[in-house]
């Protein structure tokens, strides 16, 4: 790849939009996953009795079980959200950049 | 469908032929149904390898299956790579032993996936290289960084391989009643066959088949456990509490202070990201779209699988813990408690017998062993690509690749023995 082409792509406003959007989107999702995960782990470390509380007075099922399953489902859903947006919006933008660079 | 049907018939014959498993302490009696299942699995996968060998023409085909795998298939293969024997036997064993704490491990393992997708997969995939060293070399000076990175990859692979080989030898000993040495040699030979002839296409399909079998087997076990309790989690958990006490339902002594909590959390999460055979899978698909989809599907399969292992672990608490058939009576006499035959990691295996009899025990054992085999093949391929592609980067020839790999494999087999 020559330098001229690299500069052309770098100066393309769509490219800058793509990079900033995708980076901030990836960081936001990562942070939300990490916050959920570390909240879960630190609750276990500091206050395990919160997760050990029974769902209702006559049940032995603790609140920790639906919460744990929810963390797994949450991780799955965030990958789904990212995949959908990256495969739609971001790829469209990337194709638009490719096209405009080739036309010039 | 056809294959499953064949399984059923041959398995049934085997069960009649072999009779029940004898509860020896060190080595179990020859488990015919498991061996028959396993032989069928190996036969099927060798068939795949043969088919793949005919289609593998270039180095690109060899390392990345020609980029022609779909996102769904690749997701299944990633899940297959990830759902190793450690996940299946280890996590269900941990749930069996500690109850809720097992779930914490599952969650930690799974949370790595979204992070990989958001942070690592995209730039790695865009570079379109085969190995980690390629990626580093893309930005840094070629020769030293390649040597360094390749050495790192190889060291990881060799250490991991030895662990897996020793583990598989032990497992075979327990499951099939074969000699330890015979078992390790068997694994070594099969691994060389898969990798040398089939390359990435064969290992991918072996993983897909294995992931499918493992998921079906685990689903069946979980459903059987739930059916026993009228599909009510409440009564399953209540029964488990009756056996092991209320502690199984809440987090126990797994993590008790900040430092160990955070370090465990990080170790679990990034353990995923570093495995070379998993990173390689981002390149077996055609484009970035499919690569993202494959991570999405993989996360789904793995999450589903971990929920199943959780149910299986609790099933084992209620159905194995109390059943003297599965307990190691000799050990119990010495140390008290309720040690199960073959250690806690065998909880899922015993449960399969409790819910599905000898036939299903054979099925699960064969799948568990095939799991190790498939992971070992994937790892060998990652190691082989590090050696041949990075260290002999200028002379990529198939002949060369095979020679180096076989040498490495035989070395590892010797060390493991």
- What residues does each domain of chain A span? 19-103
Distance CA(B123)–CA(B130), nearest Å, equals 13
* pLDDT at site B115: 80
* pLDDT at site B416: 44
* pLDDT at site B9: 39
* pLDDT at site B256: 58
List domains and CATH numbers for chain B.
Answer: 32-314+357-416 (1.20.1730.10)
The residues, ordered by sequence, that sit 6+ positions from A74 with a Cβ below 8 Å of its Cβ are: A33, A36
* pLDDT at site B398: 35
Q: For residues B19 and B28, is the Cβ–Cβ distance under 8 A? A: no
Of residues A30, A51, A73, nearest to B115 (C-beta): A30
The pair of three-digit structure tokens given for residue B282, joined into one six-digit string: 């981002």
* pLDDT at site B321: 64
* pLDDT at site B257: 64
* pLDDT at site B375: 67
**Chain B contact probe: residue of A67, A68, A84 with most B CBs at under 10 A:** A68
- Among all residues of chain A, which has the CA nearest to that of B123? A23
Q: Is B127 on the interface with A (CB under 8 A)?
A: no
Distance CA(B311)–CA(B88), nearest Å, equals 12
The residues, ordered by sequence, that sit 6+ positions from B265 with a Cβ below 8 Å of its Cβ are: A37, A38, A41, B108
Q: Is B238 on the interface with A (CB under 8 A)?
A: yes
What tens-digit pLDDT sequence spans chain B (417 residues)? Answer: 344 444 433 333 333 333 333 333 334 455 566 667 777 777 776 777 666 666 655 555 555 554 556 777 777 877 877 776 666 777 777 787 777 777 887 888 788 778 877 776 666 555 444 444 444 444 444 455 555 555 555 666 666 666 666 666 666 666 666 666 666 666 666 666 666 655 566 667 777 877 888 888 888 888 888 887 776 777 777 777 777 666 666 676 555 566 777 777 777 776 655 565 666 666 666 567 777 888 888 888 888 888 888 888 888 777 766 665 555 555 544 444 445 555 556 667 677 766 666 667 777 777 777 777 666 666 666 665 555 444 443 333 333 444 444 445 444 444 444
- Quote the minimal CA–CA distance from A33 to chain B in Å: 7
Of residues B255, B288, B299, nearest to A41 (C-beta): B255
Low-confidence ranges of chain A (pLDDT < 70): 1-3, 57-58, 102-104
* pLDDT at site A43: 81
**Chain B contact probe: residue of A1, A50, A79, A93 with most B CBs at under 10 A:** A79
* pLDDT at site B272: 59
Distance CA(B133)–CA(B130), nearest Å, equals 8
* pLDDT at site B225: 81
Q: For residues A29 and B114, is the Cβ–Cβ distance under 8 A? A: yes
């Amino acid at each position: 790849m020559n330098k001229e082409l690299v500069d052309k792509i770098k100066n393309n406003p769509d490219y800058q939009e793509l990079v900033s959007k995708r980076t901030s989107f990836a960081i936001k999702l990562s942070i939300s996953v990490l916050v959920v995960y570390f909240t879960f782990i630190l609750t276990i470390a500091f206050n395990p009795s919160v997760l050990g509380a029974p769902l209702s007075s006559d049940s032995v099922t603790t609140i920790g079980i639906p919460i744990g399953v929810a963390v797994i489902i949450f991780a799955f859903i965030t990958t789904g959200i990212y995949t959908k947006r990256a495969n739609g919006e971001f790829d469209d933008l990337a194709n638009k950049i490719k096209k405009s660079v080739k036309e010039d | 469908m056809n294959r499953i049907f064949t399984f059923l018939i041959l398995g049934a014959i085997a069960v009649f032929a072999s009779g029940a498993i004898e509860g020896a302490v060190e080595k179990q009696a020859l488990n015919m149904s498991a061996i028959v299942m396993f032989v069928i699995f190996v036969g099927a996968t060798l068939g795949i390898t043969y088919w793949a060998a005919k289609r593998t023409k270039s180095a690109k085909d060899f390392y990345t299956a020609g980029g022609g795998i779909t996102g769904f298939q690749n997701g299944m293969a990633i899940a297959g790579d990830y759902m190793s024997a450690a996940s299946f036997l280890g996590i269900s064993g941990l749930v069996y032993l500690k109850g809720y704490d097992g779930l914490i491990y599952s969650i930690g393992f799974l949370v790595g996936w979204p992070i990989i997708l958001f942070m690592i997969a995209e730039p790695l995939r865009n570079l379109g290289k085969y190995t980690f060293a390629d990626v580093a070399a893309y930005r840094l000076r070629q020769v030293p960084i390649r040597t360094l990175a390749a050495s790192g990859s190889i060291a990881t692979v060799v250490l991991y391989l030895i662990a897996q080989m020793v583990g598989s030898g032990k497992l075979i000993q327990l499951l099939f009643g074969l000699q330890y040495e015979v078992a390790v040699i068997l694994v070594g030979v099969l691994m060389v066959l898969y990798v040398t002839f089939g390359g990435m296409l064969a290992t991918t399909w072996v993983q897909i088949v294995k992931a499918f079998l493992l998921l079906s087997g685990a689903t069946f076990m979980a459903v059987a456990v739930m059916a026993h309790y009228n599909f009510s989690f409440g009564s399953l958990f209540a029964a488990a509490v009756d056996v092991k006490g209320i502690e199984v339902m809440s987090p126990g002594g797994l993590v008790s202070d900040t430092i160990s909590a955070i370090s465990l959390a990080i170790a679990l999460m990034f353990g995923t990201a570093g495995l070379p055979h998993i990173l390689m899978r981002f390149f077996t698909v055609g484009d970035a779209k499919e690569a993202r989809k494959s991570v999405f599907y993989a996360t789904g399969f793995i999450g589903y699988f971990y929920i199943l292992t959780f149910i299986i672990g609790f099933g084992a608490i209620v159905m194995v813990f109390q059943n003297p058939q599965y307990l190691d009576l000799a050990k119990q006499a010495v140390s008290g408690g309720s040690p199960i035959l073959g250690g806690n990691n065998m909880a899922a295996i015993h449960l399969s017998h409790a819910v599905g009899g000898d036939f299903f025990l054979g099925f699960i054992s064969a799948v568990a062993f095939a799991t190790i085999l498939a992971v070992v093949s994937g790892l060998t391929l990652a190691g082989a690509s590090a050696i041949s592609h990075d260290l002999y980067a200028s002379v990529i020839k198939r002949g060369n690749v095979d020679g180096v790999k076989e040498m490495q494999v035989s070395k590892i087999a010797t060390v493991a023995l």
